[in-house]
């Protein structure tokens, strides 16, 4: 008789839980308005832990963060 293999969990498969979609989903997180970050520009550079990231607003109003 062959033993059933345990099913891999979401974490072992590299699947992370979805990020909160609304403020009610994340009531204890601090909020920063995107306009205060972008200050009228389409993109800004963010320095974090010695690396540079680019935060960019799209024409459709979405945000893209790239390293």
| pTM of the predicted model as reported, rounded to 2 decimal places | 0.58
For the chain, the domain total comes to 1
User: Is 28 part of any domain?
Assistant: no
Asked whether residue 56 is domain-assigned, the answer is yes
Is 46 inside a domain boundary?
yes
**16-61 pLDDT tens trace:** 555 556 656 667 889 999 999 999 999 999 999 999 999 999 999 9
State which residues form the domain around 38: 33-61
Largest CA distance in the chain: 67
DSSP secondary structure, 3-61, as one string: PPPPPPPTTTTTPPPPPP-SGGGSTTS----HHHHHTT-SEEEEEETTEEEEEEE-TTS
> How far apart (Å, rounded) are the C-alpha atoms in residues 67 and 65?
7
């Amino acid at each position: 008789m062959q033993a059933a293999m345990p099913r891999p969990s979401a974490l072992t498969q590299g699947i992370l839980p979805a990020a909160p979609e609304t403020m009610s989903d994340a009531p204890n997180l601090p909020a920063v308005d995107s306009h205060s970050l972008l200050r009228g520009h389409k993109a800004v550079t963010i320095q974090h832990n010695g690396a540079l990231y680019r935060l960019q607003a799209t024409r459709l109003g979405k945000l893209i963060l790239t390293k």
